[in-house]
Structure 1
Amino acid sequence: MNIVSSRLIAIANMVSDGENIIADIGSDHAYLAIYLAKSAKVKKIFATELNDGPYEITKTNIRNFGVAHIVEAIKADGLKWIEDKKISISSVIIAGMGTTTILKILENDSKFIDCFILSPNTDAFKIRKWVKNKKYFIEDEKLILDNEIIYELIKVNKYAGKKIKNYKDLFFGPILRKTSKDNRLFTQKWILEEEKYTKLLTTIPNDNLNFKKYTKLKKIIGKYINKELKYGKAK
């Protein structure tokens, strides 16, 4: 199916075979939900939209692709409907949004949710910080190149996986950084991040409140990546 990008396919691959119920929050016309339904990976998928227009398109797509027996469109804001309906969800997918928006949605985390599959457009550090504060685990992490942008994909499990123990785990991911030796995208991503902060520092005065913050971030990234390039795997 060419309606899904490489990023969405990578997200779909993070869904375990046989998961009972999935919810895709802000489903972008249900293309990922349709892909999952066609691949027969899950038994039930809720595709949510907040606004009337996307919601109507989502319903039309579900009907046209013949997956209405698996995919159900829900008009709802974030996760609130899960608690209201008391539906047990295996995995909630939130992707294609900014970190601030995702964290706002996660404020309505529910005991009815087992896992989250998260792919923020930027700043996965804050996502991992949320995971650490909640005492959850990282089940899986991936990097994917899509339309010349490197995205992080994080599967959060409430009950099992890797703990986030230190700042290296927060920045680079407890799984990604341990498998970085064979991951060209990992090194590429963080070289680009270091370059971004280098450019930022040339545009702001030394007494700017962000100057110290950006300098620290650049130093952390640079030190880690230099070790990565020198030894093949940062410890």
Structure 2
Amino acid sequence: MTPSRQSLLAALLLAPLALTACSGDDEPAAAEQTPEEVLAAAKEKLDATSGVEATLGTDEDPGTDYLSEAEGTIVADPASFEGVIAGRVSGIPASDIDVVSVDGTVWIDVPLIGWTDEFQPKDFCGPDPAMLLDPTAGVSGVLTAATGLEEGESARDEVDPSIVITPYTGTVPGDAIREVLPCTDADEVDATFNVDEDGYLRTADITGSFFPDADPITYRISIAEYDVTKDISAPK
């Protein structure tokens, strides 16, 4: 074989290796999202879902009338809720109270009275649960209102180890929290948002002064399931 043919053969054999090495070395690493971008994407997922199975609650007692838990199905369009709430009104504890919210009216099944719209979640210092998926006045608005965000260490979820959760901590202005917890009197509150590997918000822990002349407590918002559909109507 002549020297020219040897050189051509060597070039043909080595070319793929050279191309592979160059493409691997030059390929840019995927850009990591900032905490703000992560929470903005989580907001988009919340705003796009048809509905969720969710819980808003606290294990702490502020020593005043308050909403201790609201659990059930929230549908985005039309904005509606069906579930149960618990709390304390006029110093009287109440639990497992059936609630339906449709067309801006909240119906509560009061023991010995029946379904009525006379009592409202604001009497518990709670929100209209049907509005928790509202893009502006709901939970997703809190995500993009947060400032000073820092990313924590990812870990497997304690409840469902198949899910990897990453926490993002920051502070949220009181005006944004008042959309969800209307009795908040703090200028800002602390928050930790736990986002899974697919970018969905799973839980949000919000700590602050949510009631006048009461100690700070922590509320947890938990979303167990996305893309839920359900027909919810006012009680007859």
TM-score with structure 2 length normalisation?
Answer: 0.29
Structure of greater Rg: 2
TM-score with structure 1 length normalisation?
Answer: 0.30
Higher relative contact order (CA 8 A, sep 6+): 2
